[in-house]
Structure 1
Amino acid sequence: MTKTPKISLKNVCKSFGKKVVLKNLSIDIHEGESLVVIGGSGTGKSVMLKCILGLLEPDSGEILIDGQQVVGLSVAEREKTLRKTGMLFQYAALFDSLPVWENVAFGLIQAQGMDRKKAKKIAYEKLALVGLGPDIASQNPASLSIGMQKRVGLARAIATNPEIIFFDEPTTGLDPIMGDVIDNLIRDCTRELGASTLTISHDMESAQKIADRIALLYKGNVVWVGPANEIETCGNPYVEQFVKGDINGPIELDILKP
């Protein structure tokens, strides 16, 4: 018997006025799988993620988490579903008003009502997993480098031991070395948790490092999906153009012409 996907999108559509962003988008993320969705700007990656998180409501289609329809859920029901998820935001999105350890423990304290002392201990453990020592825990996030902020964001994303983790452009703004550090941490931490992960990215090198499967999104639909190690040899013209960064090919660029 086939296992129920951890996340399943079925014929999801979303438009803003006349602009169609998602068009019958269908894709599954399996339990324990790392799926990276790649694509250029404006292809629908962020809108897809916001629909899964309930920040946007699809015009039509289904979004299921563990087989449960999440489109149209009440706020209370959606919050219950989201408790099994964690997220690393594009720019970490840390609270400057809180020290690092409270940022990491935020979900434990606010969502789970955990005792602060116990939550602080877990925060220190998660910071250690991403290579940050106790000296960082009491610092203000604004005093940290972008790379360190990303690591704090990753520690927060895994603090509740979530079943599902979302990564929004995890290597944006990082130099190649720190980008590689973050990729390795994402891969190692999520494997240790056994979490299912969905990453949206335009960074091909990063995608190949952390993905089991890669899906290419274009004009709100999946034009190719397959194992990460096959992306450079799959022969799909959309993938070939995207990988090479070629201006010529089936992917049309929205460039203003004189």
Structure 2
Amino acid sequence: MSNPAKISLRNVHKAFGPKKVLQGVNLDVAPGESVAIIGGSGTGKSVTLKCVLGLLTPDQGSITVDGIEMTDASTADRDAMLAKTGMLFQGAALFDSLSVWQNVAFGLIEGRGMKPRQARDIAIARLEDVGLGSEIADMSPASLSGGMQKRVGLARAIATEPEILFFDEPTTGIDPIMGDVINDLIVKCTRELGASAMTITHDMASARKIADRVAMLYKGEIIWDGPVSEIDQSDNPYLKQFVAGDIEGPLDLDLKHL
């Protein structure tokens, strides 16, 4: 018998007034698996992620993490789920009022009550894991480049050794070379932790590198789901257009909002 899914979404719907964003999303992430949700702007990728994290409540459907229903979870169950997750935000989302090491150690100190001296040692070790030296530990995040801020954000995401990692457009806002560095670091850190990972991205180079499996979201539904190795062999016209980056094709592009 195969392992139950680490994260499971079943028939998830979410609307904002008359705008139906999610219209029956079904998706599983297995233990230790990395899944990327791809799709254009406005297709519901971020809403899906926010529903899993509990930042939004679905109008309908089920979301389970380790078999526990999250859509109506108690505060204790929700906190327990968040305690075993790490998150790399799109804009790194570092706290300007804290030093680099304090940002990395935030979950250790605030979430686990760890003493600052011990948390600092762990933070510096995690910075080294993402290729940053201890000399930046006491610097302000604002003094770092965008790529360095992303790496600090990744160090913070892995500092608590989470079982689940979420990546929100991890390569947005940085150049292609630094994007590739971030992708490599995500693969390295995820594998070393043995974590399950869910990434939302429109960057196919990133999806190909960091994911075991890709799911394409379009008009609120998963319209293709399969291993990365099968993307180029797929005859799904929507996936083919998205991967090729073509304007012409079956995708209903809302060019007014791109």
TM-score range, shorter chain: over 0.9
Paired with 1:3 and 1:33, the residues of 2 have a C-alpha distance of 11
Corresponding pairs, count: 257
Residue in structure 1 matched with residue 139 of structure 2 by the alignment: 139
Paired with 2:139 and 2:220, the residues of 1 have a C-alpha distance of 41
Paired with 2:179 and 2:223, the residues of 1 have a C-alpha distance of 27
Alignment identity in percent? Answer: 63
AA of the residue aligned to 1:192: E
Residue in structure 2 matched with residue 113 of structure 1 by the alignment: 113
Paired with 1:161 and 1:38, the residues of 2 have a C-alpha distance of 26
Paired with 2:255 and 2:196, the residues of 1 have a C-alpha distance of 36
Report the alpha carbon displacement of residue 72 of structure 1 after superposing the two structures with TM.
Answer: 1.2
Alignment of 1:20-59 (within 5 A): 20-59=20-59
Structure 1 residues 166-201: Cα deviation after superposition (integer angstroms, max 9, x where no partner): 000000011111000000000011100100000000
Report the alpha carbon displacement of residue 115 of structure 1 after superposing the two structures with TM.
Answer: 1.2
Residue in structure 2 matched with residue 83 of structure 1 by the alignment: 83
Residue in structure 1 matched with residue 171 of structure 2 by the alignment: 171
Residue in structure 2 matched with residue 186 of structure 1 by the alignment: 186
Report the alpha carbon displacement of residue 236 of structure 1 after superposing the two structures with TM.
Answer: 0.9
Residue in structure 2 matched with residue 65 of structure 1 by the alignment: 65
Paired with 1:13 and 1:223, the residues of 2 have a C-alpha distance of 15
- The structure 1 segments of at least 4 consecutive aligned residues displaced by more than 2 Å after TM superposition are 74-77
AA of the residue aligned to 2:151: R
Structure 1 residues 10-66: Cα deviation after superposition (integer angstroms, max 9, x where no partner): 000000111100011000000000100000001000000000000000001000001
Report the alpha carbon displacement of residue 249 of structure 1 after superposing the two structures with TM.
Answer: 1.7
Report the alpha carbon displacement of residue 246 of structure 1 after superposing the two structures with TM.
Answer: 1.3
1:11 and 2:11 equivalent? yes
Paired with 1:203 and 1:255, the residues of 2 have a C-alpha distance of 18
Paired with 2:255 and 2:166, the residues of 1 have a C-alpha distance of 30
Paired with 2:110 and 2:73, the residues of 1 have a C-alpha distance of 21
Paired with 1:81 and 1:230, the residues of 2 have a C-alpha distance of 32
Structure 1 residues 49-91: Cα deviation after superposition (integer angstroms, max 9, x where no partner): 0000000000010000011101112333311211010000000
AA of the residue aligned to 1:20: K
Aligned partner of residue 80 in structure 1, secondary structure: helix
Residue in structure 1 matched with residue 234 of structure 2 by the alignment: 234
Aligned partner of residue 35 in structure 1, secondary structure: strand
Alignment of 1:211-222 (within 5 A): 211-222=211-222
* Uncovered stretches (5+) of structure 2, i.e. residues with no partner: none
